[in-house]
Amino acid sequence: MARELHGSIVVPGERLGSKVEGKHPYTLDMGGVKVATVIGLLSRRDDKNVFINLKGVYMPEVGHIVIGLVESIAITSWQVDINSPYQAVLPAHDFLGRPFNPATDDLSRYLKPGDYIKAKIVLFDKTRNPVLSVQGDGLGRIVSGFIVDVSPSKIPRVIGRKRSMVNMIEEKTGCTLFPAVNGRVHIECPNRELEMIVIMALKLIEAEAHTVGLTERVAKFIEEERARRGV
């Protein structure tokens, strides 16, 4: 029997209702029947029934804003881990905003292995590695705050419907959060204690993403932790 019940857990191979929307490769059309290929959650968004995969890796798409980790420096670019099977490339001329001269420019002066960046995917067609750009508001090297890794499939739950989860966490902690689609969250907090509370809250969301009433439980958790820590 096909499933369309909001909040239901779906296992691989289970049939989905005809009105359920889901992305390939997490759902497949098999002889006119839509089937889940990974464990997932049926949810309701914007008056639509959607399938959210609870397992899987991040697959790059042009236009996505991602948080990348610089892994190495090449002659004319940086190699960047975007938490995907595909390693991304950030061209030196894009970061510098001017022509790049390898004879005079030392790229390690600008970005080193271990640095995090916010960047946009501008080129990707599965025949070459994704190409990044940091030209745009809010993009570039991350110079403050902390990065938390979350399963990419859980990012929608971190954000919440109409940003409900993110807004609640920010209101209750005074921190700011930037959840990137590739499974990394940039957080900036007034102090270390609040930072630790947010990190624990994100891990709670990740562990219980498939459950209902999660926003309320996370809000209670934050309140209790703030009271316990006196912040």
Between CA 69 and CA 115 the distance in angstroms is 6
Distance CA 151, CA 57 (A): 8
Residue 58 resides in a domain? no
Sequence-ordered list of residues with C-beta below 8 angstroms from that of 129, at least 6 positions apart, any chain: 86, 87, 88, 89
Looking at residue 30, its pLDDT comes to 80
**Residue 173 and residue 154 share a domain:** yes
Domain assignment of residue 191, yes or no: yes
Calpha distance 110→115 (Å, rounded) = 10
195-200, Cβ contacts within 8 angstroms, sequence gap of 24 or more: 195/146, 197/173, 197/222, 197/225, 197/226, 197/229, 197/231, 198/148, 198/169, 198/173, 199/146, 199/148, 200/225
Distance from C-alpha of 73 to C-alpha of 63, rounded to nearest angstrom: 24
Residue 217 sits in a domain of what CATH number? 3.30.1370.10
Is the pLDDT at 182 greater than 60? The verdict is yes
Domain that holds residue 47: 9-53
Interval 30-68: pLDDT, tens: 877 888 887 777 777 667 788 876 666 788 999 999 999
In the chain, % of residues over pLDDT 70:
93
| Mean pLDDT, rounded, of the chain | 89
**Selection from 71, 94, 79, 64 nearest residue 183 by Cα:** 64
Residue 3 has pLDDT above 60, yes or no: no
Instruction: Report the DSSP pairing between strands 20-21 and 48-53.
Output: parallel
Asked if residue 5 has pLDDT above 90, the reply is: no
Return the axis-axis angle of helices 192-207 and 214-229, rounded to nearest 10°. Answer: 150
Structure confidence at residue 187 as a pLDDT band (50, 70, 90): very high
The residue out of 114, 141, 168 marking a domain boundary is: 141
Q: Give the pLDDT confidence score for residue 38 in this predicted structure.
A: 75
Q: What is the pLDDT of residue 4?
A: 53
In whole angstroms, how far apart are CA 114 and each of 3, 70, 84?
44, 6, 17
pLDDT in tens, 126-138: 778 999 999 999 9
Closest CA to 167 of 159, 231, 150: 159
pLDDT score recorded for residue 104: 85
Beta bridge partners of 48: 45
> How many CB atoms are located within 10 Å of the residue 32 CB?
6
The CATH number of residue 114's host domain is 2.40.50.140
Total number of domains constituting the chain: 3
Same domain, 83 and 119: yes
40 phi, psi to nearest 5 deg: -155, -175
Q: Could you tell me which residues come within 8 angstroms of residue 86 by beta carbon, excluding any fewer than 6 positions away?
A: 60, 124, 129, 130
Please give the distance of CA 173 from its chain centroid, rounded to a whole number: 21
My answer on whether 137 and 166 are in the same domain is: no
Same domain, 132 and 150: no
- Per DSSP, the three-state class of 6 is coil
| Residue 1 within a domain | no
Residue 77 sits in the same domain as residue 30: no
pLDDT digit string (tens) for 140-159?
999 999 999 999 989 999 99
Same domain membership, residue 106 and residue 76? yes
The reported pLDDT for the residue numbered 45 is 64
